[in-house]
Structures are given as structure tokens and as C-alpha cells.
Amino acid sequence: MSLIPSAFADGAATAATGGTNSLLSFLPMVVIFVLFWFLLIRPQQRKMKLHNQMISALEKGNKVLTTGGIVGKIVKIDEQFMDLEIADNVVITIQRSAIAGKFDANNQVAAVASK
């Protein structure tokens, strides 16, 4: 009868060390997640923040480039949409989020991703 309590004691000792090993086995997964966060998610959030700032700073008369490659001048800005004049008397309505970039004084598109 004295063998049974010692068997339980041996099992408890291995369970205590096994718990530490299982925590250490999650360490590589945590390190991979942290690397994933800093290399992929965080730069994308920064790029999206800069894009939203650029869109909110747009004004009537700015020359912009859409994500579809259309160049136009802003005629009217609403909460979600804006009207672009792409040629004489040709006005299209697009979503604000469809703006890829704004032209500067040198007629160059300011790259949002490089900032």
C-alpha cells in the first residue's frame, strides 16, 4: 500500500516540471507573433493613418490621383464622397477613400507610403 502514494507523488513532480515546459513551448509562438506585429501590422496601421490624414486635409481645388489611376481636380467634398472634374465639364463622384494621392506644386504625387 505504500507504493500508491509514492506513485502519485512522482506524477505530481513530473506535472510540475511539465507545466514549465509547456509554457516554454509557447515562447517561440509569442516571439513570432511579436515579429509579425512589428513587421506587418504596425507599418500597415501607420500607412493607413497617414492616408486618412491626407484625405482629411484635402480641399476644393486640389489635384488628386484616384486608386483607379484617374487624375482630377476636386470640385465638391462631402462627408463620404467627392466630385472630381476629370476634363472640361466632366465631373465624376467617387468615395473619399478612393484617393491614392495628392499632387504637389511640382505636379508630383506625394507618396503616402514613404512618409
pLDDT, tens digit (0-9, with 9 covering 90-100), for 56-67:
999 999 999 999
Second CATH level (architecture) for the domain 58-102: Roll (2.30)
How many residues belong to the chain? 115
The predicted structure's pLDDT at residue 20? 72
Q: Where are the domains of the chain?
A: 58-102
Secondary structure (DSSP) of 40-62? IIHHHHHHHHHHHHHHHT--TT-
Tell me which residue of 115, 114, 111, 108 sits closest to 100, measured CA to CA: 111
Once rounded to an integer, what is the mean pLDDT over residues 27-42?
A: 90
Q: How far apart are CA 37 and CA 99, in angstroms?
A: 27
Q: How far is CA 59 from the centre of its chain?
A: 25
1 falls in which pLDDT band (50, 70, 90)? low
Give how far Cα 112 sits from Cα of 15, 50, 56, 90, 102, Å. Answer: 54, 6, 13, 27, 9
- Maximum CA pair distance of the chain? 99
- Give pLDDT tens digits for 66-99: 999 999 999 999 999 999 999 999 999 999 999 9
Percentage of residues in the chain having pLDDT higher than 90: 57
Q: Tell me, what's the pLDDT at 115?
A: 42
Structure-block grid coordinates of residue 3: 507504493
pLDDT at 22: 79
Residue 21 has pLDDT above 90, yes or no: no
Highest-confidence range of 24-28, 34-38, 75-79, 108-112, by mean pLDDT? Answer: 75-79
